[in-house]
DNA sequence: TTATCCGCTACGAAG
DNA sequence: TAGCGGATAA
């Protein structure tokens, strides 16, 4: 017989004194102050979703809930950071015990604590897409598959196949049949590659991004005692962007909630744009069914956009068949200016138009911070970047290549990964291939020597220079090889780990700086990137935490360091629509609205209704980012298309709303001068 | 086996 | 235009 006993912890702080009634509208108030239990909040674009969630956290704290009982899950690091900050500024409570983060980062946190139960050590490495590709290439290479006779899927295709399988829970066989019929004849081999890949990850003590979710789920399923631990701890679960959860994420929540915790899931079906990584709108639709006594709150007042923009958005999304009927009402006054529809001759004219209009808006008093250029895919920002640069307009771009995915950053990180996880095959080989005379094959050989030597799996820290006495080191590499021993020894003084920042210093000065000078023409840039990384690293005491952050933080919102002076200067934002989700600006330029660019050509070809509807939701997300002014533009000709000069059709999404909702601008060039914009009135 | 050069192709979104 | 795979030189 167990006895229930309650531990009364001292309250984490005084009441916040927030007047919830006054600071929230009725719809928000209802959700924020709802009693514990299960709740689904359907919150339209711009309706104060973040506000609702952060006030909910504040409300829970005010009710005397211990911060450590709250788990706040988001999809992006930026959202996590923003919410934590807003909560911090809202309440006087100490919230350091509150867990908030992306699903992946929370998974990582849990897995580090219990890695042993799954046959890993807590210093497991995290493989990014790049590492996954190399590992898969190595797996395929070792399997004697004759890729010459018939085309075998390339590593990046394999990555998406396996990822889709794991994130949707569908069988690989079915995924192949439906999405990759042309590889169906390789079915047996693909399954073998998948299994060998899983074994290699285990052997090398590494997890990929999908593992961070799936292994957490596995941990909970196979270890009821551990699950119970977290069920007890997290009495209040809050999930942002619930419509974008995939089967693994939704199951994780359901499992955690099964112990009787409260759950508040917030989302908007019209903004579900991640099905390509397994997101399933069905999760939000069936949420009330899966959770007993679930209450549904709808928040439909839009505070963001003027009626002209909101009506256009509503009309655009209405073209989708599968959606909840929902009409957002704008709380704002009619502005009297319609969104602009701007056809332009070609991409460079489009870039010039955007740049010129940005300057005009700034003269009218709109700060650069309040403007954004959005596009479907990163490469579509190229001309605009060049134009802004040449006109001296400062911009911040959420770049396609993340900071930590650049080769030189990954090279340096490989050293740190290797000292924390000596079974890290990818890092070991990566370091070796920096040396002259060692390529793919050489690295492979030395890796197996290294494994044979036993140092890879030894319990205690190796004497590095001695441990590296391996057979088969080419003469050309001998000098650097010796140097490597010293560097690794320096990184692990007395068998413990040096500080992350010092480790990077050792790598840079001990060896990598020479490599940079020898291999790249932009040595200075790369060196300063690494110095930036060093500065960022010195905020960390714990090497494992630093490496986790490096893998989990996108350069998009977490560019390490970020030059301080630059942060003060006013900048306009360039961003993909996916990354713009949840953000807002006074003026938004949505560019490249041409069929084939947006909607994306592959989706047009696929001729799949569901995919097209998701694309349209993406369009909707873009439109609803704008508060006051919206410019929809497209180039008529694409001269840089690889099939030569191509005349483009305007995006089919532009047909989804009546022409009267926009004002068409005729832009004509004036030569020898800047472009002139003829406004109809 | 590695390093380099050259022609050909494809150009999606994120943790 | 970069990023590759294949061919060739070292």
Looking at per-residue confidence, does A225 or A518 come out higher?
Answer: A225
| Span CA (A148) to C1' (C8), Å | 20
Of the listed ranges A413-417, A446-450, A460-464, the one predicted with least confidence: A460-464
Query: Which residues have C-beta within 8 Å of that of residue A423, sequence separation ≥ 6?
Result: A203, A204, A205, A206, A456, A457
pLDDT-derived band at A400, boundaries 50, 70, 90:
low
Residue nearest to nucleotide B8 (CA to C1'): A642
Looking at per-residue confidence, does A545 or A185 come out higher?
Answer: A545
State the Cα–Cα distance between residues A378 and A355, nearest whole angstrom: 18
Residues A174-203 have pLDDT tens digits of 988 888 887 888 888 889 999 999 999 999
Q: Does pLDDT of A627 surpass 70?
A: yes
Query: Quick count: other Cβ atoms within 10 Å of Cβ A96?
Result: 10
Q: Does pLDDT of A632 surpass 70?
A: yes
Name residue A101's beta-bridge partners.
Answer: A73
Q: Are A338 and A308 in contact (CB under 8 A)?
A: yes
State the Cα–Cα distance between residues A103 and A160, nearest whole angstrom: 19
| Most confident range, picked from A273-282, A326-335, A539-548 | A539-548
pLDDT-derived band at A641, boundaries 50, 70, 90:
low
Q: Which nucleotide is nearest to A154 (CA to C1')?
A: C4
Give chain C positions with protein CB within 7 A. 1, 5-6
| Span CA (A392) to C1' (B13), Å | 29
Looking at per-residue confidence, does A172 or A648 come out higher?
Answer: A172
- DSSP 8-state class, residue A390: H
Q: Which nucleotide is nearest to A275 (CA to C1')?
A: B13
Which H, E and C letters describe A186-240, residue by residue? HHHHHHHHHHHHHHHHHHCCEEEHHHHHHHHHHHHHHCHHHHHHHHHHCCEEEEC
Q: Does pLDDT of A522 surpass 80?
A: no
* Cis ω before A599 (30° cut-off from 0): yes
Q: Does pLDDT of A367 surpass 50?
A: yes
Looking at per-residue confidence, does A8 or A382 come out higher?
Answer: A382
pLDDT-derived band at A137, boundaries 50, 70, 90:
confident
Q: Which nucleotide is nearest to A102 (CA to C1')?
A: B15
Coil vs helix vs strand at A538: coil
Coil vs helix vs strand at A288: helix
Protein residues bordering strand B (Cβ below 7 A): A 75-78, 102, 104-105, 129, 160, 163, 209-210, 276-277, 376-379, 398, 400, 436-443, 552, 554, 556-557, 576, 578-579, 600, 602-603, 615, 641-642
Mean local confidence (pLDDT), A366-391: 88
Q: Does pLDDT of A427 surpass 50?
A: yes
| Span CA (A60) to C1' (C6), Å | 63
Q: Which nucleotide is nearest to A147 (CA to C1')?
A: C5
Q: Which nucleotide is nearest to A129 (CA to C1')?
A: B15
Looking at per-residue confidence, does A637 or A145 come out higher?
Answer: A637
pLDDT at A563: 38
pLDDT-derived band at A562, boundaries 50, 70, 90:
very low
Looking at per-residue confidence, does A61 or A389 come out higher?
Answer: A61
Name residue A267's beta-bridge partners.
Answer: A42
Give chain B positions with protein CB within 7 A. 1-3, 9-15
A637-641 contact pairs (CB < 8 A, 24+): A637/A345, A637/A346, A638/A346, A638/A347, A638/A594, A638/A597, A639/A346, A639/A347, A640/A347
Coil vs helix vs strand at A413: helix
| Span CA (A674) to C1' (B10), Å | 34
Residue nearest to nucleotide B13 (CA to C1'): A578
| Span CA (A35) to C1' (C7), Å | 71
Of the listed ranges A3-17, A41-55, A307-321, A609-623, the one predicted with least confidence: A3-17
State the Cα–Cα distance between residues A587 and A58, nearest whole angstrom: 32
Percent of chain A with pLDDT over 70: 92
Protein residues bordering strand C (Cβ below 7 A): A 148, 154, 642
Of the listed ranges A146-155, A187-196, A386-395, A533-542, the one predicted with least confidence: A146-155
Q: Does pLDDT of A559 surpass 60?
A: no
pLDDT at A672: 45
State the Cα–Cα distance between residues A270 and A322, nearest whole angstrom: 9
Looking at per-residue confidence, does A224 or A517 come out higher?
Answer: A224
H helix runs in A91-207, sequence order: 103-114, 129-141, 155-168, 172-179, 187-203
> Which residue positions of A form the known binding site for ATP?
43-50
Give the pairing type, strands A38-43 and A295-299: parallel
pLDDT at A160: 87
pLDDT at A631: 97
Rounded to two decimals, the pTM is: 0.86
Residues A233-246 have pLDDT tens digits of 999 999 999 999 99
Mean local confidence (pLDDT), A343-372: 93
Query: Quick count: other Cβ atoms within 10 Å of Cβ A361?
Result: 21
**Active centre residues of A (catalytic):** 49-50, 240-241, 271, 625
Mean local confidence (pLDDT), A43-70: 93
CB environment A489-498: b (16+ within 10 A), e (fewer): bbbbeeeebb
> Which residue positions of A form the known binding site?
43-50
pLDDT-derived band at A14, boundaries 50, 70, 90:
low
pLDDT at A201: 94
| Span CA (A638) to C1' (C2), Å | 19
Residues A575-601 have pLDDT tens digits of 889 888 888 999 999 999 998 888 888
State the Cα–Cα distance between residues A104 and A109, nearest whole angstrom: 9
- CA neighbor of A56 nearest in space, from A96, A76, A29, A74: A29
Coil vs helix vs strand at A311: helix
Q: Are A371 and A626 in contact (CB under 8 A)?
A: no
Looking at per-residue confidence, does A442 or A488 come out higher?
Answer: A488
Residues A257-298 have pLDDT tens digits of 999 999 999 999 899 998 888 899 889 989 999 998 999 999
């Amino acid at each position: 017989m167990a006895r229930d006993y309650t531990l009364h912890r001292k309250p984490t702080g005084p009441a916040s004194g927030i007047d919830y009634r006054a600071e929230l509208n009725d719809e928000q108030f209802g959700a924020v102050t709802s009693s514990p239990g299960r709740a689904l909040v359907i919150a339209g674009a711009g309706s104060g979703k973040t506000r609702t969630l952060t006030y909910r956290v504040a409300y829970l704290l005010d009710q005397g809930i211990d911060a450590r009982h709250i788990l706040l899950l988001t999809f992006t690091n930026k959202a996590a950071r923003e919410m934590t900050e807003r909560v911090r500024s809202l309440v006087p409570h100490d919230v350091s015990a509150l867990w908030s983060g992306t699903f992946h980062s929370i998974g990582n946190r849990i897995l580090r604590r219990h890695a042993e139960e799954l046959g890993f050590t807590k210093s497991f490495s995290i493989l990014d897409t790049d590492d996954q590709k190399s590992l898969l290439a190595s797996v395929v290479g070792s399997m004697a598959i004759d890729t010459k006779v018939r085309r075998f899927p390339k590593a990046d295709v394999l990555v998406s196949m396996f990822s889709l399988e794991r994130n949707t829970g569908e069988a690989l066989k079915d995924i192949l049949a439906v999405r990759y019929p042309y590889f169906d004849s390789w079915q047996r081999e693909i399954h073998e590659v998948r299994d060998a890949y899983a074994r290699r990850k285990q052997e090398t003590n590494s997890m990929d991004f999908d593992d961070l979710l799936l292994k957490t789920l596995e941990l909970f399923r196979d270890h009821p005692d551990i699950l119970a631990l977290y069920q007890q701890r997290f009495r209040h679960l809050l999930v942002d962007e619930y419509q974008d959860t995939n089967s693994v994420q939704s199951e994780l929540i359901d499992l955690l909630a099964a112990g009787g915790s409260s759950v508040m899931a917030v989302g908007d079906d019209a903004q579900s744009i991640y099905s390509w990584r397994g997101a399933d709108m069905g999760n939000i639709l069936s949420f009330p069914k899966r959770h007993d006594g679930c209450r549904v709150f709808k928040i439909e007042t839009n505070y963001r956009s003027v009626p002209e923009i909101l009506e256009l958005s509503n009309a655009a999304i209405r073209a989708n068949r599968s959606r909840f009927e929902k009409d957002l009402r704008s709380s704002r006054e009619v502005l009297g200016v319609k969104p602009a529809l701007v056809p332009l001759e070609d991409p460079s004219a489009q870039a010039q138009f955007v740049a010129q209009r940005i300057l005009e808006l700034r003269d009218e008093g709109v700060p650069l911070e309040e403007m954004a250029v959005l596009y479907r895919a990163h490469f579509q920002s190229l001309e605009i970047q060049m134009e802004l640069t040449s006109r001296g307009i400062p911009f911040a771009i959420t770049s396609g290549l993340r900071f930590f995915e650049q080769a030189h950053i990954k090279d340096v990180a490989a050293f740190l990964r290797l000292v924390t996880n000596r079974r890290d095959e990818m890092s070991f080989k990566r370091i070796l291939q920096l040396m002259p005379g060692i390529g793919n094959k050489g690295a492979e050989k030395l890796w197996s020597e290294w494994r044979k030597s036993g140092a890879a799996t030894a319990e205690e820290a190796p004497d590095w220079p001695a441990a590296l006495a391996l057979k088969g080191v080419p003469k050309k590499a001998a000098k650097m090889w010796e140097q490597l021993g010293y560097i690794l020894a320096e990184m692990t003084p007395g068998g413990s780990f040096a500080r992350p920042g010092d480790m990077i210093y050792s790598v840079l000065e001990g060896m990598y700086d020479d490599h940079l000078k020898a291999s790249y023409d932009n040595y200075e840039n790369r060196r300063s990137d690494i110095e930036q990384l060093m500065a960022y690293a010195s905020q960390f005491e714990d090497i494992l935490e630093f490496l986790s952050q490096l893998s989990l933080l996108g350069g998009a919102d977490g560019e390490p360091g970020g030059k301080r002076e630059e942060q003060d200067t006013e900048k306009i934002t360039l961003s993909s629509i996916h990354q713009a989700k949840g953000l807002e600006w006074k003026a938004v330029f949505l560019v490249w609205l041409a069929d084939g660019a947006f909607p994306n050509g592959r989706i047009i070809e696929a001729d799949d209704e569901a995919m097209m509807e998701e694309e349209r939701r993406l369009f909707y997300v873009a439109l609803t980012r704008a508060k006051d002014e919206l410019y929809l533009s497209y180039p008529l000709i694409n001269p840089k298309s690889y099939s030569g000069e191509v005349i483009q059709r305007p995006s089919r999404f532009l047909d989804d709303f009546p022409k009267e909702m926009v004002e068409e601008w005729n832009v004509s060039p004036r030569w020898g001068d800047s472009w002139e914009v003829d406004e109809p009135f």
